[in-house]
Amino acid sequence: MFDTYIGLEIHIQLITDTKIFCSCRNSFGDPPNTNICPVCMGYPGVLPVLNKEAVRKSYIMCRALNCHLNEKAVFDRKNYFYPDLPKNYQITQFEYPFGINGYFENELDGELKRIRIHEAHLEEDAGKMIHEGLSSYCDYNRTGTPLLEIVTEPDFRTGEEVEAFLQNFRRTVRYLGVCDGNMEEGSMRCDANISINFPGKGLGRKVEIKNLNSSRNVKLALQYEQKRQWKMLKNNEFIIQETRLWDDEKKRTESMRSKEDANDYRYFPEPDLPPYFPDAEFLDSIEKAQVELPVARKNRFISEYTLTPDYAEFLTEERDRADFYESACTNGCDSQSAASWLKGDTAKALNVRKKSINETFLTVERFTELLKLLEEGRINNPTAKKVLEIIIDEDKSAEEVVAENGWEQLDNSEELEAFVDKVLSENGKALEQIKSGDMKPVGFLIGQVMKLSGGKADPKKVKEIITGRI
């Protein structure tokens, strides 16, 4: 066996109105070259002006990663030529990034493990180059999107661990509101470094894997690479330090460039931007912007609300969902039924609508009211589902919906018994079947009564009456 060391470089696009150094809109998916100006196009004579919101969100993230926040942060120029990089240097942070020496509590299968964060630094994103036939096109909309790069220490041992980390990490950036965490659209990107060595020998030669656009692909690529390198070591082959690309179709990594063609980036301090000194007031505001992170919240949900890990994981996946759940509980909902209604029918309904809970008319108050109606037996389960659909789409309370539609359950036994009598008299065959000991048709009969009552009967009571008659 061999030891495996995996480290990650994660880029997250920060959510800001404008780009990092100019006032162009920071938005995804617009027609090519519509969000550009002389500054992000690198026209002669223009200068960068640092976006304060990008700085704030960077610090929020650095703090959440338990980083030491440098007293002085410095921007640097990273020099390399590529047509999608207008200035042919990238403004980034090299020697003095915003945050260093942090950690992230990762969890896989209920086990917590601390992943060390080497650093987190702010930089500008490049544009995109599109090759079509013999032509190449540049789209500079993405140029200047604020990007926070987070570098972990090589603390992972398996691809599964990394996959879980990326999912937890994605939740974290969404909780903090710093990034939408969309790996398919590239707002969160991940490169992985993997090195394998004989046990106890420390880090081996590093192979970097790029082109990983989902946490699943990161896992697959690492598993593939781990196997490939194991085989090589077993056969006494030399592992080259290189960059490899993940081929999603062939499900394998392929060599892109070796260390010999590596760039010398010639870093030096960016003379157009003064060093950044966070002051006490600013740091205080960063402290105030911190929230309980998903992994911690999930574990608290398990113990505080006695939820299964499955439920807790679902509820804490998105911050607004977890907030909703907690408010509902404080508002008097039963923690179990609130959890099951949120994970079941509410989630289903939201999925169909492709909306998050905060984007609908469903409020904690209305949700609580719905569960209360159910608990008090004023409506039955199927009715509750119908009411839920309506209070998601319309600005109405559950009470209102029930009243408007006359959906309140019949608690008048006489009326119910009349329904039962009618059904029994019309279904003599079924009745005989039951009497001869075959209980199957009971459900059918209940259904008939429900139908007759327009769904307002309480199925439990109906069953009682039917079995009583027999």
Partner 1 sequence: MSWNTICGSRENADKYRAYIGEWENRIHSMLEYRVEHCEQGENRISGSLLSGMPFAAKDNIAVRDFKLTCGSRMLENLVSPYDATAVKRLKEAGCIPVAKTNMDEFGMGSSTDNSALLVTNNPWDTDRVTGGSSGGSAAAVAAGLVPFALGSDTGGSVRQPASFCGVYGLKPTYGAVSRFGLVSYASSLDVIGIMSRDISIIENVFNAVKGQDLNDQTSIEYRDSDSLSLAEKPVFSVLKNPEGLSLEVDEAYRNAAALLREKGYEVREIELPVLDYVVPAYYTIATAEASANLARYNGVRYGYRSSKGETPSELMKKTRDEGFGDEVKLRILLGTYVLRSGFQDRYYVKAQKIRTRIMNELDDVFRTSDLIMLPSFPVPAFRHGDESMSQYQQKVADKFTVTANLAGIPALSFPAGNYNSLPVGLQFFAPRYGEKMLLDAARIFENDYPVMNPQGFKTAEEIIG
Interface with partner 1 (CB under 8 A): 38, 41-50, 77, 79, 81-83, 86-89, 129, 136, 138, 264-268, 271-274
Output 131 or 435, the one with its CB closest to partner 1.
131
- The two three-digit tokens of residue 313, written as one number: 């994981």
Output 2 or 265, the one with its CB closest to partner 1.
265
The contacts found for 32-37 with CB under 8 angstroms, 24 or more apart, are 32/137, 32/139, 32/141, 33/138, 33/139, 33/140, 33/141, 34/141, 35/141, 36/140, 36/141, 36/143
Neighbouring residues of 447: CB distance < 8 A, sequence distance ≥ 6 = none
Sheet bearing 268-269, strands edge to edge: 89-92, 76-79, 268-269
Could you give the 3-state DSSP secondary structure of residue 147? strand
**In the complex, minimum distance from the CB of residue 46 to partner 1, in angstroms, rounded to a whole number:** 7
**In the complex, minimum distance from the CB of residue 94 to partner 1, in angstroms, rounded to a whole number:** 11
- The two three-digit tokens of residue 91, written as one number: 């403004």
**In the complex, minimum distance from the CB of residue 270 to partner 1, in angstroms, rounded to a whole number:** 8
Output 138 or 239, the one with its CB closest to partner 1.
138
**In the complex, minimum distance from the CB of residue 139 to partner 1, in angstroms, rounded to a whole number:** 12
Output 1 or 134, the one with its CB closest to partner 1.
134
- Please name every residue paired with 78 in a beta bridge, in sequence order, or none if there are none: 90
How would DSSP label each residue in 38-59? TTTTT-TT------HHHHHHHH
Output 1 or 47, the one with its CB closest to partner 1.
47
Task: Name the phi and psi angles at 198, rounded to 5.
Answer: -65, 145
Cβ proximity of 410 and 456 under 8 Å: yes
Distance in angstroms (rounded) separating the CA atoms of residues 6 and 14: 25
**In the complex, minimum distance from the CB of residue 43 to partner 1, in angstroms, rounded to a whole number:** 7
Reported as type and span, the H/E element at residue 233 is helix 215-234
Output 138 or 442, the one with its CB closest to partner 1.
138
- The two three-digit tokens of residue 344, written as one number: 């079941």
**In the complex, minimum distance from the CB of residue 265 to partner 1, in angstroms, rounded to a whole number:** 8
Task: Name the phi and psi angles at 192, rounded to 5.
Answer: -120, 140
Neighbouring residues of 126: CB distance < 8 A, sequence distance ≥ 6 = 82, 84, 85, 90, 142, 143
Report which of 269, 262, 164, 267 is spatially closest to residue 215, judged by C-alpha positions: 164
**In the complex, minimum distance from the CB of residue 244 to partner 1, in angstroms, rounded to a whole number:** 21
Output 198 or 268, the one with its CB closest to partner 1.
268
Output 35 or 226, the one with its CB closest to partner 1.
35
**In the complex, minimum distance from the CB of residue 84 to partner 1, in angstroms, rounded to a whole number:** 9
- The two three-digit tokens of residue 444, written as one number: 């059918």
Output 87 or 463, the one with its CB closest to partner 1.
87
**In the complex, minimum distance from the CB of residue 68 to partner 1, in angstroms, rounded to a whole number:** 25
Output 55 or 196, the one with its CB closest to partner 1.
55
**In the complex, minimum distance from the CB of residue 246 to partner 1, in angstroms, rounded to a whole number:** 24
Distance in angstroms (rounded) separating the CA atoms of residues 253 and 223: 10
